[in-house]
Amino acid sequence: MRRMAVMGAAGRMGKSLVDAVQQRSPVCGLTAAIVRPGSSLVGADAGELASIGRIGVPLSENLQVVAADFDVLIDFTLPEVMLANLAVCRQLGKAMVIGTTGLNAEQKQLLVEAGQDIAIVFASNFSVGVNLSFKLLDMAARVMGEDADIEIIEAHHRHKVDAPSGTAMRMGEVIASALGRDLQQVAVYGREGHTGARERETIGFATVRGGDVVGD
């Protein structure tokens, strides 16, 4: 059985990940769960917190303390937290599954470098449907070429902490690559006031946050 650890196990996504890992038994199982240092939940059972029943995995506040208990760390936390965990896993030779969004180019390069030493799976979205949409966007962009104005509008729940979302940014990257453009040069994030006519090569992003929208 592959031994899995979940970082941020007390959060919305973390609890979902705990549940998802346990559903994959006996292929893999949760053997460690980590929360932020000083959390009042340290010592609580990860399964009970995720509403799946007691699984005998207490929440820890220190990744290195439970290093011997897992083979793969699943990390969907904030960029600065994930990068600190990346350094630890790289040092210890632990594999990682990373779903952190909001990374800049320099931070993504750190993932590439760490990938020379440890196994890393990184994606802005792990949904099969969304990844299929990336492929379809690539095809559509190549076929339509310069004949379309590109605007990406996305919506998420009020708890989403980064904007635009990682999925929206990945869509922009896919389209820009297909059209031979540099997204950093052509991206426009929101518009306000007298902006003038739309420049042909720009890729626009608009963000909506509110309610309990899972993601649109």
Give catalytic status of residue 156 as yes or no: yes
Average pLDDT over residues 43-65: 96
- Please give the model's pTM, rounded to 2 decimal places: 0.80
Joined together, the tokens standing for residue 165 give: 């979302």
Mind listing the pLDDT tens digit for each residue in 2-19? 999 999 999 999 999 999
Banded pLDDT at 121 (limits 50, 70, 90): very high
Rg (CA), the chain: 20
Check pLDDT > 70 for residue 206. yes
* Per-residue three-class SS string for 60-123: ECCCHHHHHHCCEEEECCCHHHHHHHHHHHHHHCCEEEECCCCCCHHHHHHHHHHCCCCCEEEC
Contact 154, 213 (CB under 8 A): no
Contact 202, 151 (CB under 8 A): no
Q: In 3D, which of 62, 7, 4, 12 has the Cα closest to residue 28?
A: 4
Integer Cα distance of 188 and 130 in angstroms: 22
Side chain identity at residue 48, one-letter code: E
* Between residues 112 and 24, the one the model is more confident about: 112
What are the chain's domains?
Answer: 2-122 (3.40.50.720), 128-209 (3.30.360.10)
User: Which of the residues 15, 108, 135, 156 is marked catalytic?
Assistant: 156
| Predicted pLDDT at 34 | 98
Indicate the length of the chain as a whole number. Answer: 216
Mind listing the pLDDT tens digit for each residue in 70-102? 999 999 999 999 999 999 999 999 999 999 988
User: Which of the residues 94, 135, 159, 160 is marked catalytic?
Assistant: 160
Give catalytic status of residue 160 as yes or no: yes
